[in-house]
Chains A and B, each alone.
Chain A
Amino acid sequence: MRYAPAILAGRAVRFLARLRKPGGGSAVPGLVVNRIAPGFLPDTLNAFPRGLVIVSGSSGKSTTTKMLVGILRAHGVSVFTNPSTANISQGLTSALLERADLRGRIDAELGVLEMDEGHGALIAPRLAPAHVILTNVSVDQIDRFHDAAMVARMLDAIAARSSTSLVLNGDDALIDAVAPGSDATRWRYGVSTAVLGASARGLGYSTTSSDRVDPGSGTVVEALDGDLVSITHRGETVRFRLPARGVHYAVDAAAALSGAAAILGPEFQLTIASESFRALTPVFGRGEVTTVRGVEVEFVLVQNPASFQLNVDSLAADTEQILVAVGSDVRDPSYLWPVDTSRLGRVALVSGSKAWEAALQLGYDGVEIDRIEPDLGTALDAFLALPAPSHGRKTVIFTADSMRRTRAHLGLASNDQDDA
């Protein structure tokens, strides 16, 4: 009963937080528990009978986690996972509180956790993961951590904790080189030469490996046509539909397949895995289409320049009504300037606390801007009130802070938790 008082206190705060702000405030109860019982988080996470899986990296970890959990569940494994973006300690503790009994145990065979690299490196020494899956070190992390080498060191600290397997992006040289002294089995995934060649701007990695992953021993995205992907895993090929268009989703799928194979061992079946993708709905803000006030809206989350570019490039060509919102989570929008936004053509509204800086970039890229409205609530109301587009969907492209505010403003429930 070590954790009972802390868990009860946390639940009470969670309840109060919900009353106060619908759909918000998920980090608050976690803060309370972390203070009352600091061992709760690592003890609970290390107690899953089939072990703990950590998914980390610069970008793609939410999608990879969601795909992996889908594959594992399709194989009949019971999984605890953190709602994506609830990946800071408090948010994670809050997520655990939802499921833990009063002894601090969670009724699931396996834990799959998405962790951001900075936070993951901080708590890694207290965690004992069986499997670690790493996505990439993207070029644009300098905004938060001033160089790629530092991100690589953080991921190295997480990888070094893995006892059984390391599932690594073979196309990302920094990821491929982590934890050289580890005894864990190394599983590699990546894209074919053809897929890399078709990505005019590369894959956004800090350092792209010169060699491609061998489809005979690893997991390789062989071809991609819209949302239809062909992936070869150890010589066996499957074709299936991704939850959204874009090469980054295909790479996430390869990571998830490779990770599931590492975790499940002989239980893993590639056809069960590929069929599990059919049941996936996109994560909020990653291409999710929602009906708001009777209008269909597609929400696209921009986490860094690489995802900004990929999202601009993979936007349906006939999209004519766009809102772009850049919030205070982007301390300095300078690092977005290498992104070529000209393909947006015309934007109905630019919003968020960095609206003017965002508009300046769009303007220099030759994008027509109908209106700049820094107040996001006002901008969203105006955007939704615009007459329905004659073709394409209303599309909102936003950063994490603007996503949170959008959800709060529109009262959207979602499978996501707050990104505190």
Chain B
Amino acid sequence: MTTEPTITIAVLLPSSCNVNGDAENGAVLARRARARGLAVELVPVESVAELPSTVHAVVLGSCDDPSAPQVLEALRPFRDAFIAWVEAGVPVLAVANGWKLLTRRLELVPGSWVEGLAIIEGDAPLRRTRASDDLVVVPSGGLELDAPVLVGYENHGRDFRAGTGVESIGTVQHGRGNGDGTEGALVGPFVGTHLHGPVLAKNPELADRLLRLAITVAGGTSMLDESPELHALDEIAANARAQIVSALA
């Protein structure tokens, strides 16, 4: 039996970027890895100084709008790390404002734009009205999922206009998404999405996709075995998705 490497999951700025429980996706990944017998280190990171020397998966949740300027400044020192992660194939999940702050520029208040971290090509103009609703997305081929839809909730004030080289994570079946019929941003191992809260718990296939990438960059060989406890959790998630989708019908 080969010894699998420990998977290190960094959750960035959890004290300010967990408004809808998005930061909890780090714990979801950790739980799913441990259920497969993998060793995991789940590290909350409030500043670059706290970053572990190696990171195999990154979660950045959303902050609320009033704190966005401060969070943007707190994120700037992470720019080099983000670039290194995306180049090395480290999976990154960034949710709503957390993702928008990584774009080239975003409209903070009407007519007033600020430079984002420019990790993801594209910009984030303000919407006329806030998008707050269930969000159902048909995943794009690039995600390589079997699930017919990704299901969750969106609550955001900005659209996303993708720049060069940025794919969406899918097309919107219900909700607003990016504002042009697409949803999210997919760049290599990077996933940006408006699906907030426990998106990875509700959509376990997406979680396992990120986990496979994490295992690969960590140099592991785990195939993510069947796990009875995850089977039970994923059953609950399937019912939660079905409940949301059927309420929309």
A residues touching B (Cβ–Cβ < 8 Å)?
142, 146-149, 332-338, 353-354, 356-357, 359-361, 363-364, 372, 374
Contacts and interface: CB of A to CB of B under 8 A. Distances in A.
A393 B13 CA distance: 39
Given A335-B20, A372-B236, A364 B201 contact: yes
Which residue of B19, B239, B242 has the most chain A CB atoms within 10 A of its CB atom? Answer: B19
A307 B21 CA distance: 16
Given A147-B66, A353-B243, A360-B201, 9 more contacts: A142-B19, A333-B197, A334-B22, A334-B198, A338-B24, A356-B240, A361-B201, A364-B198, A372-B239
A363 B64 contact: no
B56 interface: no
A359 B233 CA distance: 9
Contacts of B197: 332-335, 337
25 contacts: A142-B155, A146-B64, A146-B130, A146-B132, A146-B157, A147-B65, A333-B197, A334-B20, A334-B153, A334-B197, A335-B19, A335-B21, A335-B197, A337-B198, A338-B24, A356-B239, A356-B243, A357-B202, A357-B243, A360-B198, A363-B233, A364-B27, A364-B31, A364-B201, A372-B236
Given A332-B153, A334-B21, A374-B243, A360 B27 contact: no
Contact of B198 (A356, A361, A374): A361
A336 B198 CA distance: 10
A360 B153 contact: no
A142 B20 contact: yes
* Top 10 A-B residue pairs of the complex, sorted by shortest distance between their CB atoms: A334-B197, A337-B21, A356-B240, A332-B153, A356-B239, A334-B20, A337-B24, A357-B240, A147-B64, A363-B233
B66 A148 contact: yes
B137 to A, nearest CB: 16
A360 B196 CA distance: 15
Interface string B208-239: 00000000000000000000000011001101
B86 interface: no
Interface string B96-124: 00000000000000000000000000000
A359 B155 CA distance: 22
Given A337-B197, A364-B201, A146 B65 contact: yes
A147 B65 CA distance: 7
Given A335-B20, A335-B21, A363 B232 contact: yes
Contacts of A361: 198, 201
B20 A359 contact: no
B240 A338 contact: no
B196 A334 contact: yes
Which residue of A142, A148, A332 has the most chain B CB atoms within 10 A of its CB atom? Answer: A332
Nearest to A140: B19
Interface of B: 18-24, 27-28, 31, 64-66, 130, 132, 152-153, 155, 157, 196-198, 201-202, 232-233, 236-237, 239-240, 242-243
Contacts of A363: 232-233, 236
A160 to B, nearest CB: 21
B226 to A, nearest CB: 17
A354 B153 CA distance: 13
Nearest to B27: A364
Contacts of B130: 146
Contacts of A354: 243
Contacts of A146: 64-65, 130, 132, 155, 157
A237 to B, nearest CB: 35
B16 to A, nearest CB: 11
Contacts of A149: 66
Contacts of B132: 146
Contacts of A142: 19-20, 64, 155
A353 B24 CA distance: 23
B21 A338 contact: yes
A363 B237 CA distance: 10
A183 B132 CA distance: 39
Which residue of A142, A147, A359, A360 has the most chain B CB atoms within 10 A of its CB atom? Answer: A360
B236 A359 contact: yes
Contacts of A334: 20-22, 152-153, 196-198
A360 B204 CA distance: 11
Which residue of B22, B130, B153, B242 has the most chain A CB atoms within 10 A of its CB atom? Answer: B153
A360 B23 CA distance: 16
A338 B233 CA distance: 18
Contacts of B243: 353-354, 356-357, 374
Contacts of A360: 198, 201-202, 233, 236-237, 240
A52 B237 CA distance: 49
A356 B157 CA distance: 28
A307 to B, nearest CB: 16
Which residue of B20, B132, B202, B242 has the most chain A CB atoms within 10 A of its CB atom? Answer: B20
A171 B239 CA distance: 42
A147 B24 CA distance: 20
B28 to A, nearest CB: 6
Given A146-B130, A148-B64, A335-B197, A364 B239 contact: no
A357 B203 CA distance: 12
B20 to A, nearest CB: 4
Contacts of B27: 364
A335 B20 CA distance: 4
A359 B235 CA distance: 11
